[in-house]
Structure 1
Amino acid sequence: MTVVVTGAAGFIGMHVAERLLNEGQAVIGIDSFNAYYDPALKRLRARRLATHGGFRMIEADIADPALMSAIVRDHGIRQVIHLAAQAGVRYSIDNPFAYERSNLAGHLSILEACRHGGVEHLVYASSSSVYGDRPLDGRGFREDDPAVSPVSLYAATKRSCELLSHSYASLYGFPQSGLRFFTVYGPMGRPDMAYFGFTEKIMRGDPIEVYGEGRMARDFTYVDDIVDGILGVLVNPPTAGGHEIYNIGDSRPVGLMEMIDLLEKALGREAIKIMRPMQPGDVTATYADISKLHALTGYQPKVELADGLPRFVDWWRTWNGGAAGRP
């Protein structure tokens, strides 16, 4: 069976596609290679996937409905993992229409392609940001908690995608599963993420800006654990016409200052810290209740931040040294 993975040159998409290929699946990747962050890293990921004989990359905009429909139809696709999106909370403040095209028009384009192409299961990326800014109250965020107060345009588009999927599942009867990702990190990660940017600045001797004055906390989730969850859901579709949403995180929130401390230890250097107030669109904390996903797939994260950050640092040192193709 051939699986379509949108955003295959992205961080999570590359790791998902590679796991499928290692398991003997054929994969068609779709990616626009946009310049939100350095496209050279996306090209590096794509080259890594291209070493597998069962992989084909199509460079395209997912918001092109005719092309997406043709890909699904012409290749007889029955499973789609839709991870392509315009990411980033702060970027949305200055570039709102990038989110309208990639996240809203792009998601609708994929829905139409799946509906007309006879896709049997669509697994798509949502975000923990849909929960809004809320205090930790001793329990994780649950899928049935209200998600009606997004504090960023990015969060609003992701919640809109969930609603679009719910309506399409009800109207047209093809199963869909939405995954609310909590902060994902690891080798070949996104340079716009805090742990990645902090690494580069610490190693240059530049100060890092610690927003929320260090009081923020995140449910950091290692990318291999995320892939386990995605592929576990892929083989467990809802019943016909069903639409389910699952949290996919680590369920062990870590304070920002603790993350910085672990990163300093992995790098062997101390950061110069400048404390800043919260930025618009940021949330104070995230915390995943993963019981629903565990009940479906047995999902249980294995990699703690203290182990995962050194793995990222090891990769970063190689990449930064040019051995992995960095310009």
Structure 2
Amino acid sequence: MKEFEYERAADVRSATALLAAEPEARFLGGGTNLVDLMKVGVEAPTRLVDVRGLPLDRIEVAEDGGLRIGATVTNSELAAHPEVRRRYPALAQAVLAGASGQLRNVATVGGNLLQRTRCGYFADLTQPCNKREPGSGCPAITGDHHNHAIFDWSQHCAATSPSDMAVALAAFDAVVSYETAETSGELPFAEFHRSVGDRPHADVALPPGALITGVSLPAAPVAAHSRYRKVRERASYAFANGSLAAALELREGTITEVRLAFGAVANRPWRARTAERALLGGPATAEAFAAAADAELAAATPLPRNGYKVPLIRNLVVSALTELAEEAAR
């Protein structure tokens, strides 16, 4: 591991000033992803700016009934919070599905959103990788891609986003707040992750040196009737082969509100808006759920060895929405 300096930030302003003065520095939250990448040489910051002591560790109910979640709230705190469990159960379930208990105890909300892909080529310095070294190539396209993207990939990169939390946040229209040394701003979650294109190394749309300060969830009554489902290759801690955040609201058997987002299918959480439009105002039947999933998945372009993700996601949609519809009918 390359030598680096360590500094504990006293406040948000000093933290962002440190990165403005030293672009090769990095913010340190729980370190569950960054430190691992430093150990293998993918990341080599000149300085770590520890932000865990900043006053960004609260979860508050907003006036509109939504939630404001501080960036240094740990994953364990988020999943256990009674208002998260009551208002956005799919978010709590996604966090619990995302890592072991030990990791959740230290990993932070802000760090979760910035974690890098778990593509094996990205972490292997003996292999080329456009996400790690722009212009070097993407061996996953013709190599091991069984768990890579089926949406929004390009010849430059087919890696997927590893975050479970982000899938639920995408379904509920979260907004990310940030600060830099010069300004502060917000990014709707739909704009937070960049499309792959020819710049796969640029994962998110944050400006340089930005510190995530929190995430806001707008009020969404439908979110109280939600769940998160994850398929993985082993029952213990593992990244998803496919996942789904779903929420459903019915009135006399007709769908009045629906939210769907897929995980492990693209370099970002995939909001299934085509499927949502197909379902809205229609019947809550397995046939309708399957047809909506098919409409969304018609745009998928699987690689030769990951086509299994298409029926996997289809089945997740039908199963989760059927369960939610049965609950609503009780």
TM-score by length of 2: 0.29
- Structure with a larger share of its residues in helix: 1
TM-score by length of 1: 0.29
